[in-house]
Amino acid sequence: MTKSAPFAASPALPEPVFHDPAHHIKIFQGDCLDILAAIPEATVDLIFADPPYFLSNDGITCHAGRMVSVNKGQWDRSRGPAANHDFNRAWLAAAQRVLKPNGSIWVSGTAHVIHSVGFALQQLGFKLLNDITWVKPNPPPNLSCRYFTHATETLIWAAKNKRSRHTFHYQEMRRIAGGKQMKSVWEIRPPEPWEKRFGKHPTQKPVALLERILLASSNPGDLVLDPFMGSGTTAIACLRLRRCIITIEREQHCADLAQSRIVAELVSVQLFVAVAQNDLDPRADPVDRSDRTVYRPMALSSSGKLVQRERKFYFVAAEPRKIVFTVEASDLEHAWQKFHSSPRAALNILFVIKTETEIYLLDS
């Protein structure tokens, strides 16, 4: 598959706050309408958008068994049905302009916003292709007991216009569905704990959901746009599936969170221990283990930004002599507490290995 080069930098575009040219990842910080207006016309193959749901109405919900506020921030407050619809129509029109003739768009939302999005898509002349129901297996309970439990979100998939010949990898979707035609109801778990290790975003989507969307409606090397980046899930999925990605995010803390996730994905630090009988025991024969290399620490730029700090503990059993439990913890005491709460608690531990990792993003 020939890789399509991302568009050349436009003078109207601001400098990205993050740019990895090797993997074609750009993060722009600012208002999506301003930045979309600066992107050249008909340059994007696929758009995934998770716009504000306008849910922050001072209500309450249940999270992890606790009563919490539904307020996510000023960006999520409703300005009334008419103003909300005007906003949806404005950003969708800007998105339609940058789509290639055969490009398509996915928009995610709940009932609070998705009907406005669907109407705006029709007003603008998009071709509606599918509405996908994403089913969450373990939704939070409804505290008021006056409604059905909210267990789904809707994703609308639409082509740029009625003349578009959109990309759809039917056979790949059939393979994922076990040899049958894939239905428009997808049961995918919410983000796993590892997806929130650098922080939580209130509307974070699972990587598995974005990977399915990309596999269904784009090709390796395609240029993908996410105008409401959030925690950077679209960028993670694009990196894994070799798509180019440009993202837009207004909030500084969200841009920082996304950068941490992307850098951790780019710089994967793993511990490998070759396990064989007695391999972790000292050798019986004399061996010169001295290191004659002069260690010279690498100088870090004073402007380097710490994007990941991780402390992991690896529990090595006496029998079998291998790593049987791995956990991220603040210290050994907390690591032991987590070990004793695990299914491996009955094993006899011989020793524990601790590793500490820091990753810095340096200014170019």
User: Which two three-digit tokens encode residue 312?
Assistant: 């992991």
Q: 3-state DSSP call for residue 129? A: strand
pTM across the whole model: 0.74
pLDDT at 276: 37
Which segment of 131-145, 217-231, 319-333 scores lowest on mean pLDDT? 131-145
CA–CA distance, 364 with 362 (Å, rounded to integer): 6
CA–CA distance, 48 with 37 (Å, rounded to integer): 17
User: For residues 273 and 205, which has the higher predicted lDDT (pLDDT)?
Assistant: 205
pLDDT tens-place string over residues 169-220: 999 999 999 999 999 999 999 888 878 888 777 788 999 999 999 999 999 9
* Spatial contact of 199 and 228, defined as CB atoms under 8 Å apart: no
pLDDT at 303: 64
Which CATH number does 18-61+70-266 carry?
3.40.50.150
CA–CA distance, 104 with 161 (Å, rounded to integer): 9
Q: 3-state DSSP call for residue 190? A: coil
CA-closest candidate to residue 245, choices 224, 217, 276: 224
Kindly list the domain boundaries of the chain, sorted by start residue. Answer: 18-61+70-266, 305-361
pLDDT at 289: 38
pLDDT class of 282 with cuts at 50, 70, 90:
very low
pLDDT tens-place string over residues 130-168: 999 999 888 877 777 888 888 999 999 999 999 999 999
User: Which two three-digit tokens encode residue 280?
Assistant: 């972790």
* Spatial contact of 212 and 188, defined as CB atoms under 8 Å apart: yes
pLDDT class of 275 with cuts at 50, 70, 90:
very low
